[in-house]
Structure 1
């Protein structure tokens, strides 16, 4: 059997307090990973790890665990997203132990988007756990026990687990309670939703995340046009792209390049506020190195 020793660049950088850079890449909606690998290879040396989404927006795609394993086999460090929507506690544990066996150590624990939002709206959702209880489950596996408190015969897992956070949530007290619950459940890093209000991010960092000693990565989204920004305002709860950004995109001779400049400006802002950025450039991951260059972020 082929053995794949774990890649731990992301964990080492996080624990060393480095400014962290991750990027999101979706698995294919099919069986051919070629395009996913091409995008991931373009990001090698520019990001500490690549997030592989798990049925984002409840849309069918290749298994995040399998896609992460393909990246791992190609020497690219993945962060494997695991959502509770599609698995019961048996399936969740099975995939987490499988990740360990494949040398995949970074896990992002998510509740998952509602089934009705996706392309199989009549599918049956599971949601036996949600993100906090999934974190608690991983904490047990890392201590050498399964969900029933039975010892794992082959020893404990060694998973470096993170969680999502939304600094733009309307209720700061509710946000603080959930953030603290995720910390207590073992979250070692946090990746945020798309950030459009950096004053809110700064408030979150000073009032909620201060002193937690766990890195928070701000979500930076590449806006491709004014129409794209308006779509996000209509369809993504809790996000409001400011009018002045939409106007910039609308006036630009090349809206995509204007979006690249806006994202670079946001990376610069994030470097002053938090410990990292999580880059999201749906279908244009090839532009992420250009954004980082404009932001003055050197290769790793």
Structure 2
């Protein structure tokens, strides 16, 4: 929702979230504790939380934070179990996305990890621009591994390799995922891929074959990062992943009736 110019009413967001909570996903990225000037769509995150009872669901709520202040806000809510921070491999994009340098972002992560530790929350780092960037900043798998090692040393155990601009290829996904997973077997490593619809299945197949078991997706493949380029492709569609898992005989354990209801309601949310 975050990049949509039309403000989605708080009640609609809450109703949508309630439906998604009934499906049985492990985690739901539901909102962001960020500046309302930067991301106006997320200005009602607290109000949405107050309308949702997540206690009856097995899903964990994940909130995006861009700085220490956001982390402190998020930890005030018992419903929020995971705090996600976008750490960019690209210096240019780190400045664009969180208005800080990579060095400053590392210090921010250190403080967020401490906040999470005290408040019983889980810090998750998105390795943004993890598959390269359009800005000419240096990138290779060793650079990704170096930053992963630095963040691991700060106490982070949950990571997502994020293809922020949809530049990854199936071979690149398989290679980088295997490389980082092999170098850091102690971490939980997932993928946050952006893609055009016609490339999604090949990317997901490559990731599954490489052993990835956690994917960030969005119903109907909507979304993206408003701080990236205007031509950004959307998130990979949840239904594409579910279809692929079905074809492979993987039981997701999801309530498919609740899923169908959420899919139907999504058409009302994203008019």
TM-score under structure 2 normalisation? 0.61
Using the alignment, how far apart are the partners of 2:64 and 2:180 within structure 1? 24
Ranges in structure 2 where 5+ consecutive residues have no aligned partner: 133-138, 225-233, 247-251, 255-271
**1:13-52 Cα shifts (integer Å, max 9, x gaps):** xxxxxxxxxxxx5397647223433543453325322223
- Checking the alignment, whether the CA contact within 8 Å between 1:131 and 1:163 is kept in structure 2 is no
The equivalent of 2:231 in structure 1 is none
2:188 is the alignment partner of 1:215: yes
| 1:128 to partner: Cα distance | 11
Using the alignment, how far apart are the partners of 2:176 and 2:94 within structure 1? 30
**1:178-225 Cα shifts (integer Å, max 9, x gaps):** 1111111222211222363122222223333313322222223353xx
The equivalent of 1:34 in structure 2 is 11
The higher radius of gyration belongs to: 1
The equivalent of 1:240 in structure 2 is none
Match of 1:279 among 205, 217, 236: 217
| 1:81 to partner: Cα distance | 0.6
Q: Which secondary structure does the structure 2 equivalent of 1:110 belong to?
A: strand
From the superposition, tell whether residues 277 and 30 of structure 1 become closer, same or farther in structure 2 (CA, over 3 Å): same
The equivalent of 2:230 in structure 1 is none
- Checking the alignment, whether the CA contact within 8 Å between 1:142 and 1:159 is kept in structure 2 is yes
Q: Which secondary structure does the structure 2 equivalent of 1:216 belong to?
A: strand
The equivalent of 1:266 in structure 2 is 203
2:95 is the alignment partner of 1:132: no
| 1:107 to partner: Cα distance | 0.3
From the superposition, tell whether residues 127 and 160 of structure 1 become closer, same or farther in structure 2 (CA, over 3 Å): same
| 1:105 to partner: Cα distance | 1.9
- Checking the alignment, whether the CA contact within 8 Å between 1:192 and 1:219 is kept in structure 2 is yes
Using the alignment, how far apart are the partners of 1:283 and 1:114 within structure 2? 18
Match of 1:77 among 48, 60, 73: 60
May I ask how many residue pairs the two structures share in their alignment? 214
From the superposition, tell whether residues 117 and 186 of structure 1 become closer, same or farther in structure 2 (CA, over 3 Å): closer
| 1:108 to partner: Cα distance | 0.6
TM-score under structure 1 normalisation? 0.56
**1:238-272 Cα shifts (integer Å, max 9, x gaps):** xxxxxxxxxxxxxxxxxxxxx2x643443333222
**1:82-127 Cα shifts (integer Å, max 9, x gaps):** 113xxxxxxx25x434433311120012358979969xxxxx9577
Using the alignment, how far apart are the partners of 2:75 and 2:161 within structure 1? 25
How well do the aligned residues superpose, as a CA RMSD in angstroms?
Answer: 4.0
Q: Which secondary structure does the structure 2 equivalent of 1:50 belong to?
A: strand
- Checking the alignment, whether the CA contact within 8 Å between 1:162 and 1:187 is kept in structure 2 is yes
Moved over 6 A (4+): 112-118, 126-129
The equivalent of 1:62 in structure 2 is 42
